[in-house]
């Protein structure tokens, strides 16, 4: 069997699994095995999605969540790459700073939230800080690794060309580390989404997290599920978009395999 | 090997050496890699360096490149103390796969040297095309190194070095990893390129035939620690030819002498 056909077979199979999962959900709801207060049927969740979008409610919530996620993730990316580049390009820095990083890294971000709230209040700034703090780790660690793993021969080429320090970073080190950095950024995207929702729930900031919380409190299970589905779609779409960007940016790697 | 330190002193009336080692000793990690090496390379000279593995020939080349600083003694380039690598000295590394930027195309890799030299971007494409044509890679500008054969990658590295417009070309076993046919072709191309540019060359190799075929002079190093063991002037007519030069009685005599030397060092 050729490769292409295999790929399509796998896709069809995974689609079938998803479809039967929804069918099962519909069946459970129709048979009223679980109260409709807690479990809406898929068609009701869908209707709520359509209604939410047509009256604009869900649009604004989705925009709020995307905004939190994007700002936090971008801040984490910029800071993570910058700090990671500084640490990764110096062996002395790696030796001195690495132990502190190992202490901070496994710290659950949820433990930081009360501290952030105490310092910054229930504000957008607090959300930005928490999301960025959580999302920075995969990016920073990947950047450190990427910078530390640059082929030494390339630095010698750069030296013999008498390239400036800045040129070495932008023309040699960063592109060489880019596969690691982009992989870190993809992992951080998920972290940023999770923390956006957490911050919206805790701080009552406008977004899907807040929508889900309010719907649950009001026993509007169809709206609750609509929000959850939308969050799932957001995670999926952003991750696919990131993969596509990676594929494009790292086209040169394809020829190496 | 008599009084090696004195041999390469500047003699009045002779051109100043482009690269001069004066009593150079290099210690790395407490080991003496090179001891009291003195050597002058005339402008435009093609000097080949041979020796058993571990004799410090690559290290000597790195000293000439300014990538290492001697523990004692000095290395001069055009009469100036060498304190760091310079753009006038280009290095062709043996491991071409590691010395090229895998994320840049052939054109991009050549461009790196032009960018470092401050050439305006508008002038680069024409120069890149010219350089790629010079090394026999026309029409490969858009290929990534990984899409090229070993011989092509080494040509590309040579193109990048030529883009530096070097006064001196340092080559570290550049053809060691290539098959015999590719190697012979590249030997002739390098001779033609060097003749056209007038660059000084230090060429490190473990292939004695290659050293005699290419060089104006061949130096054999002795190991532990590295020092000069033999020095042969190669008075073979140029341009060299893969068949007639290699059959020349002088070629065979030098070859014999060099083989005997290497054999003796290995005992």
Give the pLDDT confidence of A62-121 residue by residue, as tens digits.
Answer: 999 999 999 999 999 999 999 999 998 888 988 888 888 888 888 888 888 899 999 999
DSSP 3-state assignment of B94?
Answer: coil
Q: How would you classify residue B138: left for phi > 0, otherwise alpha for psi between -120 and 50, otherwise beta?
A: beta
* pLDDT at residue B44 in the model: 94
CA separation for the pair A82, A76 (Å, rounded): 10
Residue B163 and residue B110 in contact, taking contact as beta carbons nearer than 8 Å: yes
Q: What is the pLDDT of chain B when averaged over all its residues? A: 91
Select from B66, B99, B102 the Cβ nearest to the Cβ of A157: B99
Partners of A156 on chain B (C-beta within 8 Å) are: 67, 85, 91, 93, 99
DSSP A49-86: HHHHHHSSHHHHHHHHHHHHHHHHHHHHHHHHHHHHHH
Q: Chain A within 8 Å of B90 (Cβ-Cβ)? A: yes
* pLDDT at residue B228 in the model: 92
Give helix then strand counts, H and E, for chain A: 12, 0
Q: Chain B within 8 Å of A179 (Cβ-Cβ)? A: no
Nearest residue of A to residue B162, measured between CA atoms = A161
Q: Is the pLDDT of residue B157 over 80?
A: yes
Q: Is the pLDDT of residue A145 over 70?
A: yes
- Quote the distance between the C-alpha of residue B188 and its chain's center: 14
Say what percent of chain A tops pLDDT 90.
72
Q: At what angle do helices A174-203 and A124-148 cross, to 10 degrees?
A: 160
| Both structure tokens of A208 | 């899907």
ipTM above 0.85, yes or no: yes
* Minimal C-alpha gap between B241 and chain A (Å): 32
* pLDDT at residue A251 in the model: 87
Q: Is the pLDDT of residue A3 over 80?
A: no
Q: Chain A within 8 Å of B146 (Cβ-Cβ)? A: yes
pLDDT band at B3 (very low <50, low <70, confident <90, very high): very low
Please tell me the total number of residues recorded for chain B in this structure: 267
Residue B202 and residue B171 in contact, taking contact as beta carbons nearer than 8 Å: yes
Query: Please, which residues bridge with residue B222 across strands?
Result: B227
pLDDT band at A252 (very low <50, low <70, confident <90, very high): confident
pLDDT band at B7 (very low <50, low <70, confident <90, very high): very low
Select from B86, B101, B112 the Cβ nearest to the Cβ of A162: B86
The region of weakest confidence among B5-19, B150-164, B197-211 is B5-19
Residue B105 and residue B159 in contact, taking contact as beta carbons nearer than 8 Å: no
pLDDT digits (tens, 9 = 90+) for A21-64: 999 999 988 888 888 788 888 889 999 999 999 998 899 999 99
Q: Find, among B192, B219, B251, B195, the residue nearest to B56 by Cα.
A: B219
CA separation for the pair B70, B82 (Å, rounded): 10
A-B contacts at Cβ under 8 angstroms? 67
The region of weakest confidence among A26-30, B71-75, B202-206 is A26-30
Q: Is the pLDDT of residue B206 over 60?
A: yes
* pLDDT at residue A1 in the model: 56
| Both structure tokens of A178 | 């880019």
| Both structure tokens of A111 | 């433990």
Contact B116 A162 (CB under 8 A): yes
Q: Chain B within 8 Å of A4 (Cβ-Cβ)? A: no
Q: Chain B within 8 Å of A166 (Cβ-Cβ)? A: no
pLDDT, greater one: B55 or A64: A64
pLDDT digits (tens, 9 = 90+) for A147-161: 999 999 999 999 999
CA separation for the pair B181, B195 (Å, rounded): 22
Q: Find, among A88, A249, A156, A170, the residue nearest to B98 by Cα.
A: A156
Select from A153, A157, A175 the Cβ nearest to the Cβ of B103: A175
Q: What mean pLDDT do residues A229-243 have?
A: 94
Select from A159, A171, A256 the Cβ nearest to the Cβ of B146: A256
Partners of A159 on chain B (C-beta within 8 Å) are: 67, 84-85
Nearest residue of A to residue B96, measured between CA atoms = A153
* pLDDT at residue A39 in the model: 86
Contact B116 A167 (CB under 8 A): yes
* Interface subset of B 153-182, CB within 8 angstroms of A: 164
Partners of B103 on chain A (C-beta within 8 Å) are: 175-176, 178, 252-253
Q: Is the pLDDT of residue B146 over 90?
A: yes
Domains in chain B (CATH in brackets) are: 4-88+167-265 (3.40.50.300), 96-165 (no CATH)
pLDDT, greater one: B137 or A101: B137
Q: Is the pLDDT of residue B197 over 50?
A: yes
pLDDT band at B246 (very low <50, low <70, confident <90, very high): very high
Q: Is the pLDDT of residue B5 over 50?
A: no
Select from A156, A161, A252 the Cβ nearest to the Cβ of B102: A252
Q: What is the pLDDT of chain A when averaged over all its residues? A: 91
- Which residues contact residue A105 at a Cβ distance below 8 angstroms, ignoring those fewer than 6 apart? A137, A141
The 3 state secondary structure assigned to B110-127 is HHHHHHHCCCCCCCHHHH
| Alpha helices per DSSP H over chain B | 4-7, 57-65, 96-99, 106-116, 124-134, 150-163, 180-197, 208-214, 244-247, 249-265
Which of B102, B156, B172 is best to mutate for the A interface (most A CBs within 10 A)? B102
Partners of A161 on chain B (C-beta within 8 Å) are: 87, 112-113, 116-117, 164
* pLDDT at residue A255 in the model: 61
């Amino acid at each position: 069997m050729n490769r292409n056909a295999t790929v399509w077979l796998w896709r069809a199979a995974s689609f079938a699994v998803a479809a039967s999962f929804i069918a099962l959900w519909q069946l459970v709801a129709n048979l009223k095995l679980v109260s409709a207060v807690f479990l809406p049927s898929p068609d009701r969740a869908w209707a709520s999605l359509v209604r939410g979008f047509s009256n604009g409610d869900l649009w604004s919530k989705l925009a709020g969540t995307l905004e939190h996620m994007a700002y936090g993730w971008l801040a984490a990316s910029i800071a993570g790459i910058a700090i990671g580049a500084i640490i990764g390009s110096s062996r002395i820095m790696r030796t001195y700073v690495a132990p502190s990083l190992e202490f901070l890294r496994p710290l659950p971000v949820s433990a930081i939230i009360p501290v952030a709230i105490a310092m910054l209040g229930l504000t957008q700034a607090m959300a930005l800080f928490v999301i960025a703090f959580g999302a920075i780790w995969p990016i920073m660690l990947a950047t450190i690794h990427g910078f530390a793993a640059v082929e030494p021969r390339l630095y010698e080429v750069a030296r013999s060309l008498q390239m400036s320090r800045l040129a070495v970073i932008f023309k040699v080190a960063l592109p060489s580390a880019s596969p690691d950095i982009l992989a870190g950024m993809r992992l951080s995207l998920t972290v940023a989404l999770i923390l956006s929702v957490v911050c919206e729930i805790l701080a009552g900031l406008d977004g899907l997290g807040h929508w889900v919380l309010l719907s649950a409190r009001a026993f509007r299970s169809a709206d609750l599920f609509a929000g959850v589905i939308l969050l799932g779609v957001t995670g999926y779409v952003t991750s696919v978009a990131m993969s596509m960007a990676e594929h494009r940016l790292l086209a040169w790697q394809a020829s190496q395999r | 090997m008599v009084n090696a330190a004195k041999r390469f002193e500047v003699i009045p009336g002779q051109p100043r050496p482009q690269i001069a080692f004066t009593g150079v000793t290099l210690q790395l990690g407490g080991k003496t890699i090179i001891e009291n090496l003195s050597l002058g390379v005339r402008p435009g000279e093609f000097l080949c360096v041979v020796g058993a593995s571990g004799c410090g020939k690559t290290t000597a080349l790195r000293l000439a490149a300014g990538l290492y600083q001697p523990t004692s003694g000095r290395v001069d380039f055009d009469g100036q103390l060498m304190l760091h690598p310079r753009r006038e000295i280009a290095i062709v590394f043996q491991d071409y796969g590691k010395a090229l930027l895998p994320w840049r195309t052939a054109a991009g890799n050549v461009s790196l040297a032009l960018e470092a030299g401050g050439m305006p971007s508008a002038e680069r494409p024409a120069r890149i095309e010219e350089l790629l044509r010079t090394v026999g890679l026309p029409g490969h500008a858009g290929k990534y190194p990984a899409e090229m054969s070993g011989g092509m990658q080494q040509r590309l590295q040579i193109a990048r070095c030529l883009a530096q417009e070097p006064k001196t070309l340092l080559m570290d076993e550049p053809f060691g990893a290539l098959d015999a046919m590719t190697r012979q072709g590249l030997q002739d191309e390098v001779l033609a390129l060097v003749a056209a540019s007038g660059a000084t060359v230090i060429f490190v190799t473990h292939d004695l035939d290659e050293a005699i075929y290419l060089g104006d002079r061949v130096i054999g190093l002795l190991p532990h620690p590295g020092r000069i063991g033999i020095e042969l002037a190669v008075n073979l007519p140029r341009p060299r030819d893969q068949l007639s030069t290699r059959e020349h009685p002088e070629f065979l005599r030098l070859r014999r002498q060099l083989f005997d030397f290497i054999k003796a060092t290995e005992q």
